[in-house]
Chain A
Amino acid sequence: MPRNRIRIALFAAVLAFASIGCKPKPVASSTPPPPPPPAPEQPKPAAMVRSFEVEPSSISAGQSATLTWAVENATSVSISGVGSVQASGSRSVNPSTTTTYRLTANAPGGNAERSVTLTVRPAPPAERPAPPAVKVTQSFADMVRAQLTDVYFDYDKSDVRDDARSTLNRNAEAIRAIFSAHPNGILTIEGHCDERGSAEYNLGLGDRRATATKEYLVNLGVPGDKLKVISYGNEKPTCTESNEDCWQRNRRAHFSAN
């Protein structure tokens, strides 16, 4: 269609020229030879867009896509949002929202345009940044084993002793670090007793020791819903000798990841 229009325009121009040439002139005594007909005017070429694409056509925010184009016969080429460009080339773009790029090719013989649209999807929620200081290289169980120390009790007692207080103050710090590395971890506090009380009473006493330990930690700000208590009474001794050294080692609250 534009091509027909150009053709009609050319024809009209030729007619106009011919009618001018037909204007009556004063008659000369001798008739000069007619001027040579004007050289037929070369038709000016129109700009032509051979290709204009974006790849990929859909991205997530923050990602980039590549515009690729090729234009012929143009004297100038520009892309909206990008500016003047060469007749062919490619350019990386990373808009934050869906954008339609318009390529305009100008030429004396006619301009040309083409558009492509790059769809931009909203970005997924940002990844939780890893805690800067703690590098998660150890499992929850490993950290519990390596960083938490047993606390010890007097015979038939569940009061937290002075030496147990300082141990628990250190444990509370470690527990906070462990929970920040393993937010889903549940810490078990096991209550144990030496062999001397009755097995029946010791099931209750072990529960008291584990509970007293938990309460002390909760008072230091450790979240109580992440602490579980279990009493083993005297059913799981760490040693079996019948002497005070072994008895003391069994009168304890022990931390486990189970």
Chain B
Amino acid sequence: MNRRNALLTLSSLAALPAAAQNSDIIGRIAGGDMPTIALPELRGGGEAAAWMTLFNQTLFDEIFSSGVLKVSPRSFYPRQFPQQPQDFRQPPAGVSGGGLWLSDWAAEPVAAGWLATGYSVMQNGKLVFFGWLFDTSQNTVAGAQAFGKVYTGALDEAGTRKVAREFAADILARFGAKSLLGSQIYFISNRSGSKELWVMDYDGKQQRQLTRYGSIVTTPTLSRDNSRIALTTFLRGNPGITILTADSARQLTFLNPTSSVVTTPEFTPDGKQLLLSTKVGSGFPNIFVANADGSGLNRVTTARAVEVEPRINPKNSSEVVFISGRSGTGQLYKMNIDGTSVERLTDGTGQVANPCWHPDGKFVAFSWTRGFEPGNFNIFVMEIGSRKYWQLTQGAGRNQNPVWAPDGRHLAFGSRRGSSTQIWTMLADGTELKQLTDAGSNEMPVWSH
């Protein structure tokens, strides 16, 4: 065995048996190969021309980071492209249309199943964009046109981004992606001097404070219909659950059980009940179920171990993952919602925390110290059916509380890369990292559904 082979053998031995390459996670989530789209550099007339660089960059970023479509490399594109349906010219059979026909985009080397095109003009001081999406596998322009739509915005940076994002959202919607536009991220921030609940737009804009308790607020969660937030507060002295309206942070009735600790709430998908962790009748916090007002408390798990963070499968409300210390350090477990069929999903190494179901109910994101010192969490995603998992962060800082975006392609999480923890987003393959917060310390994001 030569030196090179020895190294290869060593590296393959060191590879984690169940850990998978990240490049396939998006495809795995998408459930097959992702379609490819061509995004030529679109043009504008008159004063609109000056804003098209920003427009094209924004459109590309939105599509590229969606995790729904692959973007065909621009260097392969033909010299010309149709800016509107009338520009298509069908060439004689077997001859290239030079970019003005559908098959020019479908064929190698572009190999794009879809072509997004359009142009912008200035009308009445506004930026007006005419956009179309074509299916390049079709034989007629009319049959190929997936949609054509007019978008209007202010003739400035914000207006240009808005128009580009709306066009991107319409394209992505064709491929089953839920747009992030309008979605919000709730989080915990200490920038006011105490840990309070805050909310911001999905891109980090419009950060605003929702609670003013001057106490400790932690472990927020959102009901499936985005109307209510449950969190842990110290308002009654001991950690207990408080429920708020999501829009105005008005407090709703919740009768905490008589216990020294009541925490990590989770709404059932119908919003009528909560799973939570509390200690009743024994020395260990276990998983319980209660009505949304705190009545009707019932035990779900029985273990001489700390058990927290129950999370219900959004597609199968009888399936629950949770964190339990019953085998030692906290690990990821799965069970039926009645407490039966408890099964450990992680291998017992390191500490696991913060499970969050993907909207499709097949994947769970979580944080895990596997392969690192205690406390050095990284973000992982596991396909529950196969137990196959992917590691999305690679030791840069301490990464916790991953939550899925409504598009099922992005994750928000808290990362301490320096002296404070901040909210970041990334694509589910670990790329496209963006930092959304920087004031104070910010943690525990919750992305609206």
Contacts and interface: CB of A to CB of B under 8 A. Distances in A.
Interface in A209-223: 210-212, 215
A242 B218 CA distance: 22
Contacts of A211: 260, 279, 283
A204 interface: yes
Nearest to A205: B306
Interface string B282-300: 0111000000000000000
A208 B219 contact: no
B308 interface: yes
Q: Among A201, A211, A236, which residue has the most Cβ atoms of chain B within 10 A?
A: A201
A94 B232 CA distance: 67
Interface stretch (A60-68, A144-152, A191-199): A191-199
A125 B329 CA distance: 59
A207 B329 contact: no
Contacts of A208: 283-285, 306
Interface stretch (A12-20, A102-110, A115-123, A227-235): A227-235
Given A199-B218, A208-B283, A235 B260 contact: no
B160 interface: no
A203 interface: yes
Interface string A129-143: 000000000000000
Contact of B308 (A156, A204, A232): A204
Q: Is the interface of B mostly helix, strand, loop or mixed?
A: strand
B309 A200 contact: yes
Interface string A159-196: 00000000000000000000000000000000000111
A188 to B, nearest CB: 9
A236 B400 CA distance: 19
A11 interface: no
B307 interface: yes
A243 to B, nearest CB: 11
Q: Among A196, A200, A208, A212, which residue has the most Cβ atoms of chain B within 10 A?
A: A200
Interface in B359-384: 367, 374-375, 377
A82 to B, nearest CB: 65
A63 B351 CA distance: 75
Interface residues of A, number: 28
Contacts of B308: 200-201, 203-204
Interface in A21-78: none
A203 B323 contact: no
B67 interface: no
A212 B374 CA distance: 23
A15 B195 CA distance: 118
B40 interface: no
Contacts of B279: 207, 211
Contacts of A242: 375
A202 to B, nearest CB: 9
A231 B260 contact: yes
Interface string B250-288: 000000000011011000000000000101000111000
Contacts of B34: none
A156 B283 CA distance: 16
A199 B260 contact: no
B118 interface: no
B260 A210 contact: yes
A210 B283 CA distance: 10
Given A204-B307, A208-B306, A198 B351 contact: yes
B261 A231 contact: yes
A197 B375 CA distance: 6
Q: Among A194, A205, A210, which residue has the most Cβ atoms of chain B within 10 A?
A: A205
B263 A203 contact: yes
B219 A200 contact: yes
Contact of B232 (A194, A195, A203, A230): A203
Interface in B319-355: 323, 325, 329-330, 351, 353-354
B113 interface: no
A236 B218 CA distance: 13
Given A200-B354, A232-B216, 12 more contacts: A198-B351, A199-B443, A200-B263, A204-B277, A204-B325, A208-B283, A208-B285, A212-B283, A230-B260, A231-B260, A232-B234, A235-B218
Interface of A: 155-156, 194-201, 203-205, 207-208, 210-212, 215, 228-233, 235-236, 242
